[in-house]
Chains A and B, each alone.
Chain A
Amino acid sequence: MLSTASVAARAPCGIGASRRQQRGAAARGRRQFCLVRAAKGDVLLEIHDLQAKVAATGKQILKGVTLTVREGEVHAIMGKNGSGKSTLSKVLVGHPDYEVTGGSAAYKGVDLFELEPEQRSHMGLFLSFQSPVEIPGVSNIDFLRIATNARRKAAGEKELDPLEFYAHVMPKLEALNMDPAFLNRNVNEGFSGGEKKRNEILQLACLEADMAILDEIDSGLDIDALRDVSKAVNGLKSQQQDMGILMVTHYKRLLDYIRPDYVHIMQEGRIVTTGDMGLVDKLEESGYSVLSSSA
């Protein structure tokens, strides 16, 4: 599984021209490798023609999204507000506000929509929420420990007692430049935007996910926080090279820190273009209108 491509993916920055060509080749060959082991790694997440609507209003948001993420790949989704990026990420983890109306999504070969949200988490699927809720009265460390133990239990590993967990979480906290006082505060209660995002990534680190969906982890972050959060994600990725990442973002600056292998542009509930960082540069120059003219 450690092909040259995935080794290259370890380096967070500096995608060389040769690598980009490799990517392009892999992208072209993606379809035919769907069912066999690809050079890059196993298919982690395969979304096919996914359609979904808002349960309460019936408004159709996703109108046929097709996307495949393999182990070790980093994908980025960009697109205008309201194009369905966040909906896609929430649908994948089973948010009750949305109803799947068509298509399929398989994670590690299992139909995602057959699984409860907690089962998806046990299998290593993780969503970093765009705006995580505050839960007054639940301390962060209890929450992290219960969540970590739920995952460990599902994986047949030994659960950690409070002391063991403390030892488990401290290095992760340091990697994120987080004050240990965080642990004793209530989950997200009174956290600043940056603190909430750090806390999401801390959860990602504790849960040791195999597939991370990061929904706008750059929104509301100052420059230092963005660097810390990106560094932590890259650090996790280097420890666990098979981890697949799907990032939703509006801005290139995040992608400068966490280099994507593929960039997808979403429009009106579909992925309309797929490319690499070159596509991002083009967008930065002339906005999303360039797509409609070229499409």
Chain B
Amino acid sequence: MASALAQLQGCAQLRLEAQHAPSSRCVAPAQRAVQQRRLQRRGGSGSAAPAAPRATAVAAAPAAHVAAEDKWIERTLEAVVPDSASLPAPLASLQSGCLSALATARMPTTRNEEYRFTDVSPVLQAALAPSAGPAAAPAAALDAALAAAGMREAAAATVVVVDGQIDEQRSSLGGLPQGVYVGGLAGAPQDVVSFALGAQSRARGGAFALLNGAAARDALVVHIPANLTLSGSIHILYLSSGAAAEAAGQAALAAPRLLAVLEEGASAEIVEEFASLAPADGTASTAGTATASKDGPAGYLTTAVAEFELDDRAALKHSYVTLEGANAAHAKSTLVNQGTESSYSLTEVRVGGRLTRHDLSIEQLGEATQSQMRSFLLCGDGQLHDLHSKLKLDHPQGEANQLHKCIVSSPSGRGVFDGNVKVNRLAQKTDAQQLSRNLLLVPRATVNVKPNLQIIADDVKCTHGCTVSDLEEEELFYLKSRGISADVARQMLVYSFGREVVQCLRDEALQARVEAAMRRTLASFTGAAQ
């Protein structure tokens, strides 16, 4: 705290200036001052940024030192923050906002309620370096990963994002209808970007979302104009070369960012798939687990942010799948604003990665919205998957339905779930359901689950429930009574438990990839593959 004060005092002069500077951001004046100082220090001219005219008063100084209270943040920022001059204007202003917030932020520890059961300290031991990007990634490995992914033919567009940067060569955007934009910030509709980029993550994002904003080199923008129904999905494949480019105890950081804006009455389907570029992915999982535990925290960190703006009556089907390598840490923020009568439907499947955390925040901006969340998390050897979801209802007649399913198949695996549905005073006639089902397949497997409803409105229908169990005896017996052996019956039930969510992915090739990854994770439990 003392250092923060000193810092603020040190820039008192700047603060005065900052108060006069026109700014569209809702940053507190004190923060703005820091923001400005940061820009000075980094020597970013950023003069191209219309939203950041304050950057002009800057004397060039070497980007030697980034001050932050939290030492890890400081070290990390020094290593990974790109020169703001090289960034598109909206991103530069996002960066400066994030840097100023990070100056006083701390990375979470298990003493924070939000991270009580999710210990991110292994991630924070690593020295991070920016990841290589598409140019440096081995082309052969990229092509192999793409071939393995077998992108769906029916997809309206496929976008390949390598280490947070769009690989235009490998993406295919040809088939999009007139008016739809999918691509990097550079060509994106400026009005859309300027009102929406970073708006939600600034207000509701956590430390990892800030880190993304500070380290992002580009953002993928999806814009669907009013009343357009996009047939076929937009499939975004995020590949991390981190596992491959890893060197001398340094872990690579990738900061991919997505902004999707659906105008009135538009509807679309967006698939976000995270995978690693690890060689020979088929065997990497089991081998990777062993090496990861020996080498300590080295690996890579993906900190991803996705912001969705759904205008009135817009409908978005969102799939989010992580199949990352066994030495990956993954922190994802998904932020959704829902206009009147809009519908947001999420299908989330997390199988890969050593430590993954998803912060999902949905806010209702109008009445009669529909929000559906289905999640399936499979925690194998040494894996921790955490879902923190917050749904805030402020308008009448919202419908919400959340299903969380988690399997822990190893004594060293852990699942964490905190699902919050907040029904505020004006959200009358809300219909919200929440169910968390957890399967602990072995002794000492752990889940920490907290489905919770906060209800202030008095005329609502809300239910929530939670089960933690081994496989259902009754279901096992039913299968056995039909002549199916105990082993096969257990396998069928374990797979089916997840399939209830996985089959909502609707893309068969993607489902097959997920099921292959599930089989690998469950191999230690089920013995031979099915």
Contacts and interface: CB of A to CB of B under 8 A. Distances in A.
Answer yes or no: do A and B interact: yes
Interface of A: 93-96, 116-118, 120-122, 127, 129, 132-133, 135-138, 143, 146-147, 150-151, 154, 186, 203, 207
Given A96-B473, A137-B495, A150-B485, A118 B500 contact: no
A132 B495 CA distance: 20
13 contacts: A116-B480, A116-B486, A117-B477, A118-B480, A118-B484, A121-B480, A129-B478, A129-B481, A133-B474, A133-B475, A135-B475, A138-B493, A150-B482
A143 B475 CA distance: 12
B496 interface: yes
A138 B477 contact: no
B492 A146 contact: yes
A147 B482 contact: yes
A132 B499 CA distance: 20
Contacts of B482: 118, 121, 143, 147, 150, 203, 207
A203 B481 CA distance: 11
Contacts of B72: none
A151 B481 CA distance: 11
Contacts of B473: 96
B180 to A, nearest CB: 33
A135 B480 CA distance: 13
Contacts of A138: 492-493, 496, 499
B499 A133 contact: no
Interface string B480-520: 11111110110011011111100100000000000000000
Contact of A150 (B472, B484, B496, B497): B484
Contact of B481 (A94, A143, A146): A94
Contacts of A135: 475, 478-479, 493, 496
A133 B500 contact: no
Contacts of B492: 138, 143, 146
Given A133-B472, A137-B503, A146-B488, A117 B480 contact: yes
Nearest to A121: B483
- Which 8 residue pairs spanning A and B have beta carbons closest together? A137-B496, A121-B483, A137-B499, A147-B482, A150-B483, A117-B480, A137-B500, A138-B496
Contacts of A146: 484, 488, 492
Contacts, number: 76
A93 B481 CA distance: 7
Given A135-B479, A136-B499, A138-B492, 5 more contacts: A95-B477, A137-B495, A137-B496, A143-B482, A186-B500
Contacts of A117: 477, 480-481
B486 A137 contact: no
A127 B474 CA distance: 14
A204 to B, nearest CB: 10
Interface residues on B, range: 20 to 34
Given A150-B483, A150-B485, A136 B496 contact: yes
B483 A96 contact: no
B529 to A, nearest CB: 15
A121 B497 CA distance: 24
A118 B496 contact: no
B471 to A, nearest CB: 11
A117 to B, nearest CB: 4
A95 B474 CA distance: 9
Contact of B484 (A93, A129, A147): A147
A150 B480 CA distance: 10
Contacts of A116: 480, 486
Give the one of B484, B486, B498, B499 with max A CB within 10 A.
B484
B481 A127 contact: yes
Contacts of A143: 479, 482, 492
A207 B483 contact: yes
A147 B489 CA distance: 10
A245 B492 CA distance: 30
B38 to A, nearest CB: 50
A19 B499 CA distance: 53
A147 B483 CA distance: 6
A96 B479 CA distance: 13
A207 B489 CA distance: 17
Nearest to B488: A146
A93 B472 CA distance: 18
A96 B498 CA distance: 25
Contacts of A147: 479, 482-484
A186 B492 CA distance: 12
A143 to B, nearest CB: 8
Nearest to B476: A96
Contacts of B486: 116, 118
A132 B472 CA distance: 13
Contacts of A151: 483
A117 B485 CA distance: 9
B456 to A, nearest CB: 33
A136 B497 CA distance: 7
Given A133-B474, A137-B496, A122 B481 contact: no
Contacts of A154: 483
Contacts of A132: 478
Contacts of A129: 478, 481
Contacts of B478: 129, 132-133, 135
Nearest to A138: B496
Nearest to A93: B481
Contacts of B489: 118
B8 to A, nearest CB: 55
Contacts of B474: 133
Contacts of B484: 118, 146-147, 150
A95 B492 CA distance: 19
Nearest to A150: B483
Given A116-B486, A118-B486, A146-B492, A136 B481 contact: no
Contacts of B481: 93-95, 117-118, 120-121, 127, 129
Nearest to B478: A133
Contacts of A203: 482
B479 to A, nearest CB: 8
A135 B474 CA distance: 10
A121 B477 CA distance: 12
A72 B491 CA distance: 37
Nearest to B503: A137
Give the one of B475, B482, B486, B492 with max A CB within 10 A.
B482
Contacts of A121: 480-483
A154 B488 CA distance: 15
Give the one of A116, A120, A137 with max B CB within 10 A.
A137
A151 B480 CA distance: 11
A203 to B, nearest CB: 6
Contacts of B503: 137
A148 to B, nearest CB: 8
B377 to A, nearest CB: 15
B402 to A, nearest CB: 16
